[in-house]
A and B are shown apart, each in its own frame.
Chain A
Amino acid sequence: MTATLIEGVPKDPMLERRELIQGVAHKTLSRRMLMSRLIVGSCGVAFLIALVPLFAILYSLVRKGIHWWSIDFFTKSPQFPSLLDPNAVGGISNALIGSLVIDGIAALFAIPVGIVTGLFLAESSSRFANLLRMTAEIMTGLPSILLGIFSYQMLVIGFHEWGIKLLGIGFSGLAGSFAIGILMIPVIIKASENALRSVPFTIREGALALGARNGVVARKVTIPTALPGLITAVLLALSRAVGETAPILWVIGASNIIEWDPRHEMASMPYLIFQSATSPYTSLREETWGIALTLVVVVLIINLGSRLVAARLQRERR
């Protein structure tokens, strides 16, 4: 029995409204569906477009780079093409070792500083901690070339005012390590703070209740529990550091021989890519693909490693 059956009584306004809405919805349905399909479809297209450069880069890297890989490529030092032999390019062992030494030293001082500062940020809520967190976040986003300038002024040139002579060690691998290390620290701080914060407070309280002091709790409870997260943090920072070119551009000089001593000028993989990409020799430009493929493989292995550790961590949590 609806209201319309009774003579003289006005229609129910609610019902009228519902009918109106249903009518409009029905009439516009096909238009709305079409619009939706169009836009959702273009989202899919956008995703496909986003994948194009990925595959284009990987294709170029593998197709033009893989045939450079040989024993000589990894064990010999570079040669410059001459008129007699324009295809002689030698190998990249000096750059491999340079990268290893530079990034190794950088990691050596960036890891402890980064993790301890991360611990501080996770445990303290003072104003100093908040300021430091903001500083670390802004440092992460600063262009890395600025660190190159810093390292150049601090270590390569040094401080020669008022009769004091400080640092000034010249172009060297050490100056590169310094720049790369400062680049790594904020990344490690950020990720390790997150890892340390995710340690349940109940575990730490348990240890505190047994009479352990903060230091013992941090060393014996918090850090071991968060270890997979910390490893992820370090690997993440390392995978970023290995590929960075800008900070070492100003400071490591150049070397064509195998150099283990970080106090001397060194070669490095990303820097070598930058150099030979702009080289006038075709053979050197082509060789760049081999170096780039090597670098990308190294970076991806480190990156995948950090992902595997993170995935394992999540599985254990469940």
Chain B
Amino acid sequence: MELPDPLLTEKQKSFSVKSDMAHWSVLYGVSGLFALICAVFLITVIVSSIPAWRHSGFSLLYGRTWSQGTNSFGALPIITGTLLTTAIALVFAVPIGLGSALAIVHLLPSKLRVFASSLVELLAAVPSVVYGLWGLLVLAPWFETTVQPDLADLTDHHFPFQAPYEGVGVLLAGCVLFVMILPMIVALSRDAIAIVPREQFEGALSVGATKWQVLKKVVLPAAKTGIVGAVTLATARALGETVAVALVIGLNPLFPHGLFSTASTLASTIALQFQDATPLQVAGLGALAVILMALTAIVNWFGRRLIRRSAVRANFI
């Protein structure tokens, strides 16, 4: 803008330059605000846990007793409970979710496909507290009177299946988590499978492979990244699920001694022990929050990378 431009008046020139400045300053300002909130969030959660780290040191990570009354903060049983419930959920959700995704893309007629997809996505929209309610009021009595005694009889009351039958506990929490992460796995891996070009599927069929051979040798390898990403994101969700698990885990800060025993998870402990906690106890829960944040952030970051590489549009999660 060194030479005078005869077509623009002075007022127009200054206006247009300013308007561009205004545009970018608004964009940078608002997104900077979001970045600031995230930074303050990170710092606040970490700072709020400092008294607990000062009180217990790193035994917070490997200590074996968590007792709020005596201010002993050892998160190992709680971390164990978190990992155990997530593992149970994944054991059920991965095969069933993957099978359903394959069924939706390659088995169902196209009219039914859209319907089935929206059913699954609606299931993903149901709030987690409703899953917890269902687990507590419907599944727990059924587990207590039928599922747990039957399982115990079937396995002769061996290690993971011994009494007492309480309904709530690790197994029930795992099952509720399974129901919760299933729609996520189905929806994301369905997208990953649907991205594989139809021509590849038909080409493999035309040289004489059976449907399963095509799925195994062509479709699944091509969709692998997206599927692993879907499972990773679902893992992160199961690790961090709060309210549904809090209702059905039975909150018991001891090591689970079997599948029927009550236990606790990081998020559910934070949710339930907060009421009438002293400032030091709040800091202890803050330390759990830091562990939970680190765990889920790493798993999530990994999953997002995989999902992005696979070009699945994870819009709704």
Residues of chain B lying within 8 A (CB to CB) of residue A25: 208
Q: Do the beta carbons of B127 and A142 come within 8 Å of each other? A: no
The answer to whether the Cβ of B247 comes within 8 Å of any Cβ in the partner chain is: yes
Stretch at the interface among A8-16, A67-75, A143-151: A143-151
Q: Do the beta carbons of A113 and B179 come within 8 Å of each other? A: no
The answer to whether the Cβ of A175 comes within 8 Å of any Cβ in the partner chain is: no
Residues of chain B lying within 8 A (CB to CB) of residue A136: 34
Q: Do the beta carbons of B243 and A295 come within 8 Å of each other? A: no
Q: Do the beta carbons of A141 and B286 come within 8 Å of each other? A: no
User: Known: A61-B130, A143-B292, A185-B34. Is A153-B300 also a contact (CB below 8 A)?
Assistant: no
Stretch at the interface among A85-93, A199-207, A208-216, A256-264: A208-216
Closest to A291 in B: B133
Q: Do the beta carbons of B45 and A278 come within 8 Å of each other? A: no
Q: Do the beta carbons of B243 and A143 come within 8 Å of each other? A: no
User: Known: A132-B34, A140-B317. Is A43-B107 also a contact (CB below 8 A)?
Assistant: yes
CA distance in complex: A112, B38 (Å): 17
Closest to A122 in B: B27
Residues of chain B lying within 8 A (CB to CB) of residue A39: 212, 215
What distance in Å separates the Cβ of A143 from its nearest Cβ neighbour in chain B?
A: 3
CA distance in complex: A147, B240 (Å): 12
Q: Do the beta carbons of A213 and B30 come within 8 Å of each other? A: no
Closest to A139 in B: B38
Stretch at the interface among B17-25, B62-70, B71-79, B153-161: B17-25
The answer to whether the Cβ of A53 comes within 8 Å of any Cβ in the partner chain is: yes
Closest to A276 in B: B133
| B interface footprint on A205-229 (CB within 8 Å = 1, 0 otherwise) | 0000001011110100000000000
The answer to whether the Cβ of A189 comes within 8 Å of any Cβ in the partner chain is: yes
Residues of chain A lying within 8 A (CB to CB) of residue B274: 249-250
User: Known: A25-B208, A47-B116, A51-B119. Is A296-B126 also a contact (CB below 8 A)?
Assistant: yes
How many residues of chain A are within 8 Å of chain B by beta carbon? Answer: 90
CA distance in complex: A53, B285 (Å): 33
Q: Do the beta carbons of B125 and A60 come within 8 Å of each other? A: no
Q: Do the beta carbons of B116 and A144 come within 8 Å of each other? A: no
The answer to whether the Cβ of A79 comes within 8 Å of any Cβ in the partner chain is: no
Closest to A124 in B: B27
- For this complex, 28 residue pairs linking A to B, each with C-beta atoms less than 8 Å apart, are A32-B210, A32-B213, A35-B210, A36-B210, A39-B212, A40-B107, A43-B102, A43-B107, A49-B96, A50-B182, A50-B186, A54-B119, A135-B35, A137-B304, A141-B233, A141-B296, A142-B300, A149-B44, A185-B37, A215-B26, A243-B127, A246-B128, A246-B267, A246-B271, A270-B127, A274-B132, A277-B132, A288-B137
Instruction: List chain B positions with a Cβ less than 8 A from chain A.
Output: 16, 19-20, 22-24, 26-28, 30-31, 33-35, 37-38, 40-41, 44-45, 47-48, 95-100, 102-104, 107-108, 116, 118-123, 125-134, 136-138, 179, 182, 186, 208, 210-213, 215, 233, 236-237, 239-243, 246-247, 267, 270-271, 274, 285-286, 289, 292-293, 296-297, 300-301, 303-304, 313, 315-317
